[in-house]
Structure 1
Amino acid sequence: MKRQKRDKLTRAHHKGYQAGINGRAKENCPFQQNDAKSQWLGGWREAMEDRQTGFAVK
């Protein structure tokens, strides 16, 4: 059974979340396109909120 690829924006959001959980700076965003960059930063911000509330512990 083939596995479907997630769309690029969902993947960008997930990668941003992972970067935030790992403590990377938002300046390290690897995307140049506005849509993907926006999604990555959104994931990064979510991760930072989760780290501050203690939801995610590294």
Structure 2
Amino acid sequence: MRRLKRDPLERAFLRGYQYGVHGKSRDLCPFTLPSVRQAWINGWREGRGDQWDGMTGTAGIHRLNELNAVG
């Protein structure tokens, strides 16, 4: 049975989160469509917040699993 693809907004959020938690610039957003770009930036902001809170490396693995489980 084929698996359904994830929602593009969810995928953009998760990719943005990855960029943010690794300290990358939000100028690196690859999306131009406003709704998808906004989802990416929201993920980036959350990732940056988690990075500032020290949730990087092994400390942040549970957070990424939570984000993946929500979708």
User: What TM-score do the two structures reach when normalised by structure 1?
Assistant: 0.90
Q: 1:22-53, CA deviations, whole angstroms, 9 ceiling, x for partnerless residues?
A: 22100000000100000000000000000111
Unaligned runs of 5+ in 2: 59-71
Residue 27 (structure 1) aligned with residue 24 (structure 2): no
Moved segments of 4+, more than 6 Å:
none
Give the whole-Å Cα distance in 1 for the aligned partners of 2:34 and 2:55: 29
Whether the 8 Å CA contact 1:17–1:40 is kept in 2: the answer is yes
Greater share of residues in helix: 2
Please list, as runs of the form range in 1=range in 2, the aligned pairs for 1:1-58 lying within 5 A after superposition: 1-57=1-57
Which of 34-43 and 20-29 deviates more? 20-29
Where relative contact order (Cα < 8 A, 6+ residues apart) is larger, the structure is 1
- Secondary structure at 2:57's aligned position in 1? coil
SS in 2 for 1:5: coil
- Give the distance between the partners of 1:35 and 1:56, measured in 2 at CA: 27
Let me know the Cα RMSD of the aligned residues. 1.3
Q: Which runs of 5+ in 1 are unaligned?
A: none
TM-score normalised by L of structure 2: 0.75
**Most deviating of 21-30 and 36-45:** 21-30
